[in-house]
Structure 1
Amino acid sequence: MGETLFIAHRMPFPPERGDKIRSHHLLKALAALGPVHVATFAETAADYAAEPYLAEMAASHVLVARPRRLAWSGLKALVTGKPVSLTAFASDRLAQWIAETLRDRPIDTVFVFSGQMGQYIPFGFQGRVIVDLCDVDSAKFEAYGASRRGPRAWVDRRECRLLRAEEARLGHLADATLLVSEAEVALFKARTDRPPRCVVALGNGIDTAFFDPRGAAPQPELAASAKPNLLFTGQMDYAPNVAAVERMARAIMPIIRQRAPAVQFHVVGRAPTAAVRALQGVNGTRVWGEVPDVRPFLAAADVVVAPLAIARGVQNKVLEAMAMARPVVLTPEAATGIGGSDPEHYAIGDSDAALADRVLTLLADRQQAAAMGVSARRFVVAHKGWAAALAPLADLVGHAPRVRDAA
């Protein structure tokens, strides 16, 4: 292959949240195949601090500050008729750098990470185009629109409709459209009335050497407690995660504590919203916020929970817990794309009462819980490493691009 232009909506360093973990490993794999030029956005001081790592991996790069002006993006979206998700990531500077790179470098592959960045695919480009949608974003906004009321519901329904059209456009334009699981592939195909060229499931992986129970001592305070500890990890300003921990604290924990009053629920993850912080002390809930390393908390957890009602793609938080040999209780939605089976590798509950019952069963039978954790790690090591997950990538970028008309 020649050179690749990699366009991502977030800086692929540091790899400390789901989308950045995936983009990081994709970039790493592409860089092993040939020179890669990266165009991406920075949002935090940590993004800028990690720029030397990006510079070391990329042949060239541009890192553009993305202002957090959601209200302005929304107004611009209304005026232009575009999704807010696109206007929020629109940048003249990024577009100019992309145009100059295509002019000056022998780019034969444009790799777009996340549908928001499809707007930067150059008009008339005759090389290979690969779009990694990760999951079907329009379906997420459809679920939001169905669960909310008032103006916000209208905005979500509008976003769903416009993103659905954009996803169909990208599927028709790209030589290959990637999604994180076969379930997402099926959903994508079912939601588009414009036939996609080629749709491929390319799963997420996990760094099983890093997420290894032998490499992390349990968090001291949790380890010293005689009380059973439940744990949820994730980006805590992400709406499905917020809804999940509210559900756990306010609906599931009361059921659990009726039979086991000492059980504690810990929420670990950066940027907790006001709604998440308000859970502090509710039914044994403790909100920790961002921590330097999530592994000690995983190592100390008796059970990891993922009571997600909206879960697109594959949940990295579940893979991380399984790699750390923790028993996991989760919803059917959170189990999608993980593989494995219930009850060997995890425990599924399809209601608040069922989730509570699965947690209580594991707390009462520590031998069963430990066996589940061991089986979970064994499964992840065998099937969910990044090398195995991204093995098809070389073939995808090695195929000759088709001759395309303008899209």
Structure 2
Amino acid sequence: MKSRSEHRTLVVSHDPAWPPVSGADLRNVQNVQAASEFGPSHLVSLRPHEADGPGSKAFTVASLIRRDDPRRPAVNRPRTRIEPRISAIAIERLLAEVDRFRPDTVILEGIGLQAFIEPLRPHVPQLVLDMHNVESDLALQVGAGALRGVAIRLNSSLLRWHERQAGKKVDRIWTCTAADRDRVLSRFKRPIPLDVVPNAIPRFHEIAASLKDPPADDAPPSILFVGHLGYAPNVQAAVRLARGIFPLIHKAFPRARLHLAGRHPKPLVKALADLPGVHLHANPLTLEKLFAQASITIVPLRAGGGSRIKILEAAAWGIPVVATPLAVEGLELEPGRQVVVGETDKELAQMAIDLLNDKVRLCSQRDEARRAVCDLHGPEAIRRAVGLGLGLV
């Protein structure tokens, strides 16, 4: 029987996850890095990396599609909006990677990569589906209020069917939160190991061991929102924040600034930079300066799956969080003590104003939240969760 130090893990992602930019990238990297503590680890993406080879000291990376590949017929028929087109050459290269690396476990990122399950099944001792989002639920949230209500529901039903079918073929399923685990578990007729692997605090090693001093009383408030600005739930939240919430805060604090930072902003987000006090940071190379200057972060999500990495990172940096109930779902942060929670634009704006006016409460909340997220989402917690999810701990 192999020892833990010999367990070989291969993670398959859709986008090239190294270096990480989006929330999905960060989760894939956390999983492959944590798995590397139990043995060699390898990260393979469907879309091309800039170059194959070492990813970090902990793992290697490779790609299944190359930019100069001729167009080949797809082996799948994508019927949902999250399924990429997968060619025969991608399948061939994945099986070649499996033959070369000889993994004990393969982790597939999400139901969108379900076309890989059947080809992998005969060659992999343990196959894990990482449902970092419960896509069938997310489809309903993102489509809430849309005119295409029937199409949205059909897409969600089809995704739920695919989730059930995938659950019959894999050995284990991972989710980000206990709430997601319970939702997924209720859909299967047969028992299946279902593990909670929380999202990690990104770039934990870059965060100072002690918190910075809060902004000076005469400093203009700096409000921060970080996320993939091409992702529909984040686009909705950014527009809501800039057009509905921030103007109310700006009336109370005329020198306040709202900073929107993230990858690939949609035109709808780019237009927000024309509003008074709003600044857009597209595709930032680093967030360190923005985190260091932020007074608070506001996360007014109406849709989203898994757990919000942007909140974990802000709390670890000592930035107080104001958010909707959905945004903090699954994070085990106590409302009123470690996070401020509101539903409407007016509630969220007033809560932010009250927090900015009460430095004692602001400091207490940030201290409490930092301790909580470091305990629950720090490196040791993630290492143990991945070990359990691999069946090794």
Following superposition, the deviation at residue 182 of structure 1 comes to 0.6
Counterpart for residue 379 of structure 1: 372
TM-score by length of 2: 0.86
Partners of 2:195 and 2:343 lie apart in 1 by 29
Q: What is the aligned counterpart of 2:290 among 293, 297, 301?
A: 297
Partners of 1:276 and 1:141 lie apart in 2 by 21
Partners of 2:249 and 2:59 lie apart in 1 by 49
Counterpart for residue 26 of structure 2: 21
Contact conserved, 1:213 with 1:299, CA < 8 A, in 2?
no
- The yes-or-no answer on 1:351 pairing with 2:344 is yes
Q: What is the aligned counterpart of 1:180 among 172, 176, 179?
A: 176
Following superposition, the deviation at residue 81 of structure 1 comes to 6.3
Following superposition, the deviation at residue 35 of structure 1 comes to 3.0
Partners of 2:27 and 2:82 lie apart in 1 by 19
For residues 326-370 of structure 1, what are the alpha-carbon distances to aligned partners after superposition, in whole Å with 9 as ceiling and x for unaligned?
111011011112112122211111111110111010111122212
- The yes-or-no answer on 1:160 pairing with 2:156 is yes
Counterpart for residue 64 of structure 1: 65
Count residues with an aligned counterpart. Answer: 381
Following superposition, the deviation at residue 29 of structure 1 comes to 2.1
For residues 28-54 of structure 1, what are the alpha-carbon distances to aligned partners after superposition, in whole Å with 9 as ceiling and x for unaligned?
2223322334431346xxx416x4432
- The yes-or-no answer on 1:262 pairing with 2:255 is yes
- The yes-or-no answer on 1:32 pairing with 2:41 is no
TM-score by length of 1: 0.83
Identity of aligned residues (%): 25
- Give the alignment of 1:214-253 within 5 angstroms: 226-253=219-246
Secondary structure, aligned partner of 2:286:
coil
Following superposition, the deviation at residue 145 of structure 1 comes to 2.8
Bigger Cα displacement from structure 2, 201-210 vs 171-180: 201-210
Following superposition, the deviation at residue 325 of structure 1 comes to 0.6
Unaligned runs of 5+ in 2: none
Counterpart for residue 114 of structure 1: 110
For residues 244-288 of structure 1, what are the alpha-carbon distances to aligned partners after superposition, in whole Å with 9 as ceiling and x for unaligned?
011111111233234333322111112111100111132432222
Q: What is the aligned counterpart of 1:137 among 132, 135, 138?
A: 135
Partners of 2:47 and 2:56 lie apart in 1 by 14
Counterpart for residue 46 of structure 2: 41
- The yes-or-no answer on 1:273 pairing with 2:270 is no
Closer, same or farther in 2 for the Cα pair 1:105/1:223, shift >3 Å? same
Closer, same or farther in 2 for the Cα pair 1:126/1:362, shift >3 Å? closer
Contact conserved, 2:259 with 2:279, CA < 8 A, in 1?
yes
Closer, same or farther in 2 for the Cα pair 1:57/1:384, shift >3 Å? closer
Closer, same or farther in 2 for the Cα pair 1:359/1:127, shift >3 Å? same
Paired residue type of 1:266: H
For residues 268-313 of structure 1, what are the alpha-carbon distances to aligned partners after superposition, in whole Å with 9 as ceiling and x for unaligned?
1121111001111324322222222112112111111111111211
- The yes-or-no answer on 1:198 pairing with 2:202 is no
Contact conserved, 1:171 with 1:195, CA < 8 A, in 2?
no
Partners of 2:140 and 2:239 lie apart in 1 by 21
Partners of 2:242 and 2:56 lie apart in 1 by 43
Following superposition, the deviation at residue 223 of structure 1 comes to 9.2
Partners of 2:188 and 2:389 lie apart in 1 by 24
Q: What is the aligned counterpart of 1:127 among 112, 125, 128?
A: 125
> What is the aligned-residue RMSD (CA, Å)?
3.1
Closer, same or farther in 2 for the Cα pair 1:125/1:226, shift >3 Å? same
Partners of 2:315 and 2:205 lie apart in 1 by 13
Following superposition, the deviation at residue 7 of structure 1 comes to 1.6
Paired residue type of 1:189: L
